[in-house]
Structure 1
Amino acid sequence: MGVYEELLNKIESKQATVGVVGLGYVGLPLAVEKAKAGFKVIGFDVQEEKVKLVNEGVNYIGDVINEELSELVKTKRLTATTDYSFIKDVDAVAICVPTPLDIYQQPDTSYVENSASEIAKYLHKGMLVVLESTTYPGTTEEIVKPKLESTGLVCGEDFFLAYSPERVDPGNKQFKTKNTPKVVGGVTKKCTKVAAKLYSSVLESDVYEVSSPAVAEMEKIHENTFRHINIALANEMAILCNKMGIDVWEVIDAAATKPYGFMPFYPGPGLGGHCIPIDPFYLTWKAREYNYHTRLIELSGEINNSMPEFVVNRCMQILNEEKKPLNGSKVLVLGVAYKRDIDDVRESPILDILTLLSNAGAEWVVADPYVKTFKLNGQLVETCALTQEAVESADLVLIGTDHSDFDYDMVQKYAKVIFDTRNAIPRGKVVSKKYHRL
């Protein structure tokens, strides 16, 4: 029996030991699902605190159920370590590490490169490696494959390599890791088949096979670029509708009644999170290699990145109507997380808004039930509770994140002026006479 057939049998019988490199918002839920499916799972992370928490059965990711993690650790289905030498004991490993942009807006693949180098030290025959981190087309074959083949082992014969993009939407109540369809593209057909077999053994969703890692890498970028561009259109419509005295939210609701040819996207204070503000620029960077300028993507980025400034200018206009300058005014900002009902502030546009408010001389405080502290320009900031006193003392209440925990009835009752950037208070529920919508 060859290494390919042997690995397939191990996966089918749940005798394979599976590794997950990176125990963040993608890696930990994936590790949990693999362990729940019956595999022995080893999680790897360079952060000792994360490893310690996992081994204590303490959850730190919103999409993971606390009791499930605790039970998996207790029964030794899931363990975590900072020691990459344990890679030698796994039959398959997924790389789920960050792929941020550097200060020049170019892809920073150092985490992927370091992970591939560590895996290469302990790579053995009959092993599957899957990259899940979002990145530009070509990363798997141009960066990961050469590092692994530097061992002398041959991809597709001695070991198997594939790309399968993560699809995680933090806070989504309907779609989680287990029930979201998975795309898989291997370097060879055998690579694709063995990776697809692993995911189909873990997930309840369909596994869709594509012809190469590059196709899978590009489809992930296409998903997020689609959202990036359509959100930019919604934001540009919001800016224009404001100038024309038209409610953009009513416009979108009306357009959404069309049963074909339209998909609603909504404006907001800017883009945030680990994907949408960043991923399209992997493609922009890669396109230069082919002497192509991705004009639509870059223009969309300009529009989305301009929204915090638009929001602060609106704050000035709204306060001017109250005969108050923004300079010296007290602003209560509701929410700093990049989206509702989560604690993630990565790339949150509210951070830019707070900086602009400070530059304009405003005094601000932030209320966020999900975020106790956050860093702004290197300084640690504590959030406050949303109380009647906090609302009454503010010259302006700015709704930056539409958390469902906020008491919007109380806010409307006691706020002097409200500026809602998220349509948190729908038209039919607005009672405040001093309410403004983005």
Structure 2
Amino acid sequence: MVIETTDGWLGGTRFDLDICVVGGCGHVGLPLAITLADAGFSVAVHDINDDAVRLVNDGRMPFLETGAEEVLRRVVGRSLIVANDPTLVKRARVVIVVIGTPVDAHLNPTFHVMKRFVKGMLPLMADGQTLLLRSTVYPGTTEKIHELIRKAGREIAVAFCPERVAEGKAMEELRVLPQIVSGCSPKAIADAREVFGRIAVDLIELTPIEAELTKIFTNVWRYIQFAIANQMFMIAAEHDLDFYRIHEAMTRDYPRMKGLPRAGFAAGPCLFKDTMQLAAVANNTLALGHAAMLINEGLPNFLVKRLRLKYDLASMCVGILGMAFKAESDDPRESLSYKLRKILEYEAREVVCTDVYINDPRFLPLEEVLTRADLLIVGAPHHQYRELGLPPGKPVVDIWNLYGGGAAL
């Protein structure tokens, strides 16, 4: 296949592609690949998920991402190649990797996953390329990968440019937010600047360790913010008060409280994981992070405890509206709605679930959940639920205050 390009790097180089995104059919890689291809780079995506590859080549997104599908259809088969084809890796001047450092069952970072992945990548790569790490990594990972590659006798530059966008808003935020760039050599930094200088409104250059901590600090700050709101919500509920009356009094026309979020499930694939990574960096002295984890992860348990005092759950069918980890998302990863379901299955006669965006054979249609449930809980505050004709007299637990009626338990 001949890929179209406008003003990329191709002229005079031995690479016939500008960029290859490995694992590029996922939430982080695909919006980036589409945006770069739309900006004039010749881009390839290598992904082992054949179903996702087929969807993308048909011009369809495998997940919700506002504004992405229109741009995808414009670039796929032109400036964007998408395939399960590892030979694409060696053809690109810059190889972007979107695998992050996960935590294990004991909440410890598992650097060996990244190390094993990079070792497996090296035979697919050519000297002269730049390996650009995109997902959040444990601080120090970029330098360790650079050293691993150097000891292998390879001349491959290593850069780290953390993803900073909100899932579902990537197509907009990739172009309006400053992009952090870092690298272990002048070449790595120059290539990172070339990649993101064409799409980002501004570039902020840091050392790799500074960039790694900037990303993790940001996610931990958000997680702690949510925990503060959730702790206040729990305290208000223990006093039989509506948290949102207090929240309104705290925040209305009072700029010093502008940053206080609403209560709700703080979950997803990043915030909890990155808080535990920072705790490991701090030799498990991150008291604020551990406290935030206990509060946020404990919210489903708290809800069920309060409901058990008020209702005979053992005789009730409980319905959960929304199973995604946040509103307007089809991503169920680390969603606390699933934890809530697990706890309720122990306490209630029956638990039924639905979601506007997630296709799951275990879920029921929305109307059936509304009819069957004796008690409803808003798990993810999708906008579509705002206009529901809720059955009169049926109790609804609305910790997000989606319906504007407060959240007294």
Question: Common fold, TM-score beyond 0.5?
Answer: yes
Question: CA contact under 8 A between 2:23 and 2:98: conserved in structure 1?
Answer: yes
- Of the structure 1 ranges 295-304 and 241-250, higher mean CA displacement relative to structure 2 is found in 241-250
Q: 1:29 offset after TM fit, Å?
A: 0.6
Q: Which amino acid is the alignment partner of residue 299 of structure 1?
A: A
Q: 1:27 offset after TM fit, Å?
A: 0.4
Corresponding residue number in structure 2 for 1:206: 202
Q: Which amino acid is the alignment partner of residue 240 of structure 1?
A: I
The yes-or-no answer on 1:225 pairing with 2:220 is: yes
String of CA shifts for 1:39-86, please: whole Å, max 9, x gaps.
1111122323223333333321322622321332232x1112333233
Q: 1:409 offset after TM fit, Å?
A: 4.7
String of CA shifts for 1:392-437, please: whole Å, max 9, x gaps.
43211111111111254511x435211112111114xx7xxxxx54
| Counterpart among 43, 63, 67 of residue 70 in structure 2 | 67
Corresponding residue number in structure 1 for 2:366: 386
Corresponding residue number in structure 2 for 1:363: 350
Distance in 1, Cα, partners of 2:8 & 2:319: 59
Q: 1:327 offset after TM fit, Å?
A: 0.6
Distance in 1, Cα, partners of 2:113 & 2:61: 23
Residues 386/190 of structure 1: CA separation in 2 closer, same or farther (3 Å cut): same
The yes-or-no answer on 1:22 pairing with 2:23 is: yes
State the SS of the aligned residue for 2:118.
helix
Distance in 2, Cα, partners of 1:110 & 1:60: 29
Structure 1 unaligned residues grouped into runs of 5+: 1-7, 320-324, 374-380, 431-435
Q: Which amino acid is the alignment partner of residue 277 of structure 1?
A: F
Distance in 1, Cα, partners of 2:102 & 2:387: 35
Q: 1:16 offset after TM fit, Å?
A: 5.3
Q: Which amino acid is the alignment partner of residue 385 of structure 1?
A: P
Distance in 2, Cα, partners of 1:314 & 1:151: 58
Distance in 2, Cα, partners of 1:37 & 1:415: 54
Residues 47/393 of structure 1: CA separation in 2 closer, same or farther (3 Å cut): closer
Residues 174/242 of structure 1: CA separation in 2 closer, same or farther (3 Å cut): farther
Q: 1:87 offset after TM fit, Å?
A: 1.7
The yes-or-no answer on 1:265 pairing with 2:261 is: yes
Q: 1:13 offset after TM fit, Å?
A: 10
Q: Which amino acid is the alignment partner of residue 235 of structure 2?
A: L
Corresponding residue number in structure 2 for 1:147: 148
TM-score, normalised with respect to structure 2: 0.89
The yes-or-no answer on 1:277 pairing with 2:280 is: no
Matches within 5 A, 1:180-191: 180-191=177-188
Residues 53/409 of structure 1: CA separation in 2 closer, same or farther (3 Å cut): closer
Q: 1:151 offset after TM fit, Å?
A: 3.9
Corresponding residue number in structure 2 for 1:195: 192
- Of the structure 1 ranges 176-185 and 28-37, higher mean CA displacement relative to structure 2 is found in 176-185
State the SS of the aligned residue for 2:173.
coil
Residues 78/128 of structure 1: CA separation in 2 closer, same or farther (3 Å cut): same
CA RMSD between the two structures: 2.5
Q: Which amino acid is the alignment partner of residue 395 of structure 1?
A: D
Distance in 1, Cα, partners of 2:119 & 2:393: 56
Corresponding residue number in structure 1 for 2:297: 305
The yes-or-no answer on 1:33 pairing with 2:35 is: yes
| Counterpart among 314, 319, 333 of residue 346 in structure 1 | 333
Question: CA contact under 8 A between 1:57 and 1:74: conserved in structure 2?
Answer: no
String of CA shifts for 1:200-259, please: whole Å, max 9, x gaps.
12x14211111x111100000000110111111111111111122332222223222322
Corresponding residue number in structure 1 for 2:392: 414
Question: CA contact under 8 A between 1:41 and 1:79: conserved in structure 2?
Answer: yes
Distance in 2, Cα, partners of 1:249 & 1:73: 46
Q: 1:311 offset after TM fit, Å?
A: 1.2
Distance in 1, Cα, partners of 2:60 & 2:350: 37
Corresponding residue number in structure 2 for 1:43: 45
Q: 1:138 offset after TM fit, Å?
A: 0.2
Distance in 1, Cα, partners of 2:316 & 2:117: 49
Corresponding residue number in structure 2 for 1:4: none
Distance in 1, Cα, partners of 2:86 & 2:171: 34
Distance in 2, Cα, partners of 1:110 & 1:339: 30
Question: CA contact under 8 A between 1:93 and 1:130: conserved in structure 2?
Answer: yes
| Counterpart among 231, 241, 247 of residue 252 in structure 1 | 247
Q: 1:199 offset after TM fit, Å?
A: 0.5
| Counterpart among 230, 234, 238 of residue 235 in structure 1 | 230
Q: Which amino acid is the alignment partner of residue 60 of structure 1?
A: P
Q: Which amino acid is the alignment partner of residue 145 of structure 1?
A: H
String of CA shifts for 1:139-163, please: whole Å, max 9, x gaps.
1111x21332234235xxxx42211
Distance in 1, Cα, partners of 2:256 & 2:194: 36
Q: 1:185 offset after TM fit, Å?
A: 1.4
Question: CA contact under 8 A between 1:97 and 1:111: conserved in structure 2?
Answer: no
State the SS of the aligned residue for 1:278.
helix
The yes-or-no answer on 1:167 pairing with 2:164 is: yes
The yes-or-no answer on 1:400 pairing with 2:387 is: no
Q: 1:300 offset after TM fit, Å?
A: 1.2
- Of the structure 1 ranges 93-102 and 355-364, higher mean CA displacement relative to structure 2 is found in 93-102
Question: CA contact under 8 A between 2:326 and 2:380: conserved in structure 1?
Answer: yes
Q: 1:348 offset after TM fit, Å?
A: 0.6
Distance in 2, Cα, partners of 1:118 & 1:356: 40
Distance in 2, Cα, partners of 1:69 & 1:111: 31
Distance in 1, Cα, partners of 2:101 & 2:398: 32
String of CA shifts for 1:318-363, please: whole Å, max 9, x gaps.
32xxxxx101201121111111111111111110110111111331
Q: Which amino acid is the alignment partner of residue 384 of structure 1?
A: L
Question: CA contact under 8 A between 1:337 and 1:401: conserved in structure 2?
Answer: yes
Q: 1:262 offset after TM fit, Å?
A: 4.7
Corresponding residue number in structure 1 for 2:285: 293
Matches within 5 A, 1:110-121: 110-121=112-123
Corresponding residue number in structure 2 for 1:377: none
